[in-house]
Structure 1
């Protein structure tokens, strides 16, 4: 199946819709990686961006199976609904799933829990270990340039050194959608097929393609408590603290990650259409509104990128 699968695109290939153009670009990137690299892998968390990325990979290679395994960096504090979705989808499509466990690194003494209980910053070591152990040379990620300023300057093909670090001086121009995957032994390339998508694009594509998502992306009642202007889920990682009161509210999640630092937003959007209306009216990015780990410092994501996570 080619990227142009919709009747209007077939009838007028010279006038692709916005979503068709984004889809076509992403499918091209997947096929380019398949031709240039020996051992690619798709980072898959069960979040909406990785779900859309997997959907595009399935489109890129159908009727053949996706020729790459999936890799999930499991913090041990994931939303149960997301883990259930991850396992169901991998089984449904017959995909290989590798899990890099933060908990295993803590249990073995290779990592220590943070005082604040947040595990997102601890994902770097398990990720880099998995990349090295499986000799992955291309790692697909669902990062988008509209999410955060450290992501805004990222290339589609992002060269990483033998320690997984990002050096802006070594990044290459990408004129006319020409991607240079050259790398030395021990290095690898992070690949971002959704770089040019926005949160609204992602949701409009989910609506058009009728893509199933974990239920927490839609409004539901949940016990939460307020901290730093966000509704966080209570749990063993350090909440609620003294003076923080648990409430039962109608909320949904714009992004999913470690439960200790991923905030919910007040919402009554129970359908894709309502979510799209809500996002179109929002003036805050999803990470800016709901991710406490990005608020640790002005350069939190930039630091993690240089260390080898993003």
Structure 2
């Protein structure tokens, strides 16, 4: 028996993994291939067993030996925002079992870095790219990349770029979270917008304004401050909002994402402004931190993991690795009502 055959014989099989994890072979295989019909707890358990046993899919081992591993790129603004981390995890799950290597690039929402990574990935002749834009600007290299390779956008639509995308209903989510604030009785409302060049920011602002208008209020009479989706910009906006006489303060601050809402909560905590007794605060994305703030943050949930996995499946289908496209590319959003919203102070 030669060395290669001896190594294959000593490696754990998917059946060995199933026995060790106390699941069926079908379930273990479903986890390996990133299928959606496995409970998260079961999937995490089986993956832990695979890691502990050193399980390596035979297809991946053969591909590595023959140098046939495909490569895709993933460009994201950063991983500090856990929504982007969820998307990245979903992309990785979506390519599991397909002999594909993912290259992660962090752009920090800087146009120069997005241009650099698009140029680099194009020169590497990758099979495709999953792209989360932090700038909303279609760089020259990105446009070239869309011509020579396959690109799938997640949660953004760029002007002049004709590419498939996976998005959630940002407008509806923004409209519904704003209605929570309005239904609580607030009329003195401030909105902290996201970067105006981004499609998501535009959609969310439109949703906020639609909700305000539907309640018989003039959206143009509300106060709007421009943020950049970072916690720092939320903090700075709050400092501006609460710098004058208390009688001129808003009773509610609607933020276009959770990071900025966290900045508002930080400022209020430092300034001794009680949330939600003195001011209500909302966010968007439902990042992990939103459930750990005090009070917990009312926000809009969008399924980052599922969106990332769908983007991976869409990309794999486009490059001929996967026979079927994802079941859906448009995802719902849902309001998570928590402790940061109450009636306005009397």
Taking structure 1 as the reference length, the TM-score comes to 0.29
Larger radius of gyration: 2
